[in-house]
Amino acid sequence: METKIEKVLKILEEEIVAAEGCTEPIALSYAAAKAKRILGIIPNKVDVFLSGNIIKNVKSVTIPNSDGMVGIEAAIAMGLIAGDDRKELMVISDVTSEQLTEVNEFLAKDIIKTHVHPGDIKLYIRLEISNDEDNVVLEIKHTHTNVTQILKNSKILLSQVCNDGDFNSSLTDRKVLSVKFIYDLAKTIDIDLIRPIFQKVVNYNSAIAEEGLKGKYGVNIGKMILENIEKGIYGNDVRNKAASYASAGSDARMSGCALPVMTTSGSGNQGMTASLPIIKFAAEKNLSEEELIRGLFVSHLITIHVKTNVGRLSAYCGAICAAAGVAASLTYLHGGSYEMVCAAITNILGNLSGVICDGAKASCAMKISSGIYSAFDATMLALNKNVLKSGDGIVGVDIEETIRNVGELAQSGMKGTDETILDIMTK
């Protein structure tokens, strides 16, 4: 049997992965590249069946290496023409100008037809492609690269059992995670076991944040905060700097920057939110590399724990799950007790659990900055032993009940919200 630490390491390996571009359109590119490799030729007929949450998150975000293209058809065409599925979420990281010309020529044929999949699975992709002689059907469920079925000319090439009612069924059992376990393990785990993955987090996510601060991306909220710090309008403090740094990464990524990021729980925005404020805080406070890595360990695992309850895709903004991880990590790095860490998470979930996800786009960066500002507030309240009380709204009798309540809110309470958001976006 696996030890608890082995399970945690496997969870980190599953959840913290490199991706170039927003993960929903990239999942479409991945599916297209894989299906085309099996078909063996560029298809002349393409039908794609998608869950509403996939449609929502692909509609408005710029695809990297595409010369500014957005949308479902562009993501699929990029995968069919220029994708390498063996690179998984880095599937379109190497695109030539000749391939880009082919992509535009393919799109001009207008053969990609999109259909809404009517089921309850939040992350669902089924791609049906064919030429004059052969056809391939490829299905993905629950996570962005979890291929559950492949058919070629009706012959089953892959059929993977998947529990449609459990979005965590394809992943390592998350029951090992609790705030107490994460807090205690952060203090004792052998740093060499987690250093490699978090060094990649620091290197990748810092690079795209720096790019976001230099270039013109989206609404440039990260750059705006930094410029107003320099003008003296915003305070020159770690809170503003952390918000600037993290939102700059999202500015760049949502606007098609081709730099990869280390994602968390299937999301680059969550990966950047969980990491960049902690990286900036550690730099400003001159923390050691070990303190930084342990802080990132707390932030990412708390994010994963909350997000496991919320679901892979929902109407509940994933950046808020990551902001809860940031609040926990900041409290931990300040030397806060377990009770204080619980209080910090409670404060942020009690405050920002109404923030909606209305798709991947430029405004994600603004939601990230709001989440980080709130994470600092939640931390300072917790360190002063101030916490939202049990029974106040969705706050439970303890931290685990509060996290479960947030999951129920996201999965059941916000189901109608999700449908309304999708209806508004697709009118």
Q: What is the tens place of the pLDDT at every residue in 180-215? A: 999 999 999 999 999 999 999 999 999 999 999 999
Residue 236: other Cβ atoms inside 10 A: 9
Residue 360: pLDDT band (50, 70, 90) is: confident
pLDDT tens digits for range 67-110: 999 999 999 999 999 999 999 999 999 999 999 999 999 999 99
- 89 plus 189 within the same structural domain: no
- Residue 15 domain flag: no
- Residue 399 domain flag: yes
- 208 plus 357 within the same structural domain: yes
Provide the domain limits for residue 317.
Answer: 174-426
Angstrom distance (rounded) from CA 357 to CA 53: 10
- For residue 215, give the CATH number of its domain: 1.10.4100.10
User: In 3-state terms, the chain is what percent helix, strand and coil (to 5)?
Assistant: 60, 10, 30
CB–CB of 112/42 below 8 Å?
no
Average pLDDT over residues 247-256: 95
Angstrom distance (rounded) from CA 70 to CA 202: 28
Indicate if the pLDDT at residue 165 is higher than 70. Answer: no
| Matching residue, tokens 């377990």 | 338
- 188 plus 92 within the same structural domain: no
Indicate if the pLDDT at residue 353 is higher than 90. Answer: yes
- 186 plus 151 within the same structural domain: no
Q: Choose the final residue of a domain: 159, 182, 202.
A: 159
Question: What is the structure's pLDDT at 120?
Answer: 85
Indicate if the pLDDT at residue 1 is higher than 60. Answer: no
- 266 plus 309 within the same structural domain: yes
Closest CA to 324 of 398, 379, 249: 379
Helix (H) or strand (E) holding 138: strand 135-141
Angstrom distance (rounded) from CA 215 to CA 130: 41
Indicate if the pLDDT at residue 301 is higher than 70. Answer: yes
- 251 plus 388 within the same structural domain: yes
Q: Choose the final residue of a domain: 134, 159, 184.
A: 159
Indicate if the pLDDT at residue 164 is higher than 80. Answer: no
Residue 299: pLDDT band (50, 70, 90) is: very high
Q: What is the DSSP string of 220-231?
A: -HHHHHHHHHHH
Question: For the chain, how many helices (H) and strands (E)?
Answer: 16, 8
Closest CA to 65 of 73, 74, 56: 74
pLDDT tens digits for range 32-62: 999 999 999 999 999 999 999 999 999 888 9
Angstrom distance (rounded) from CA 314 to CA 324: 17
* Helix, coil or strand: residue 93: coil
Question: What is the structure's pLDDT at 426?
Answer: 79
- Please indicate whether residue 171 or residue 292 has the higher confidence score (pLDDT): 292
- 198 plus 144 within the same structural domain: no
- Residue 142 domain flag: yes
Residue 427: pLDDT band (50, 70, 90) is: confident
Question: What is the structure's pLDDT at 167?
Answer: 66
Question: What is the structure's pLDDT at 170?
Answer: 67
- 299 plus 420 within the same structural domain: yes
- 243 plus 357 within the same structural domain: yes
Q: How many CA within 13 A on the CB side of residue 407?
A: 17
- Residue 118 domain flag: yes
CB–CB of 140/123 below 8 Å?
yes
| Matching residue, tokens 């571009």 | 21
- Residue 132 domain flag: yes
Tokens, residue 341: 């860490």
- For residue 144, give the CATH number of its domain: 3.30.1330
Angstrom distance (rounded) from CA 62 to CA 70: 5
Closest CA to 264 of 203, 318, 226: 318
pLDDT tens digits for range 338-350: 999 999 999 999 9
Angstrom distance (rounded) from CA 187 to CA 330: 14
Phi/psi of residue 23, nearest 5 degrees: -70, -25
CB–CB of 327/278 below 8 Å?
no
- Please indicate whether residue 285 or residue 359 has the higher confidence score (pLDDT): 285
Angstrom distance (rounded) from CA 204 to CA 274: 13
Residue 380: pLDDT band (50, 70, 90) is: very high
- 105 plus 180 within the same structural domain: no
pLDDT tens digits for range 261-283: 999 999 999 999 999 999 999 99
- Residue 371 domain flag: yes
Residue 422: pLDDT band (50, 70, 90) is: confident
- 353 plus 266 within the same structural domain: yes
pLDDT tens digits for range 381-414: 999 999 999 999 999 999 999 999 999 999 999 9
Question: What is the structure's pLDDT at 163?
Answer: 72
Angstrom distance (rounded) from CA 270 to CA 383: 24
Tell me the pairing of strands 135-141 and 147-152: antiparallel
- Residue 340 domain flag: yes
- 71 plus 193 within the same structural domain: no
Angstrom distance (rounded) from CA 219 to CA 238: 22
Q: Choose the final residue of a domain: 159, 190, 215.
A: 159
Q: How many CA within 13 A on the CB side of residue 285?
A: 18
Angstrom distance (rounded) from CA 327 to CA 22: 24
Count up the domains in the chain and report the number. 2
Measured in Å, how far apart are the chain's first and last C-alpha atoms?
51
Question: What is the structure's pLDDT at 130?
Answer: 97
- Residue 135 domain flag: yes
Q: Which residues are within 8 A (CB) of 354 and not within 5 positions of it... i.e. 6 or more apart? A: none
Question: What is the structure's pLDDT at 425?
Answer: 85
Average pLDDT, the chain: 95
Phi/psi of residue 126, nearest 5 degrees: -130, 120
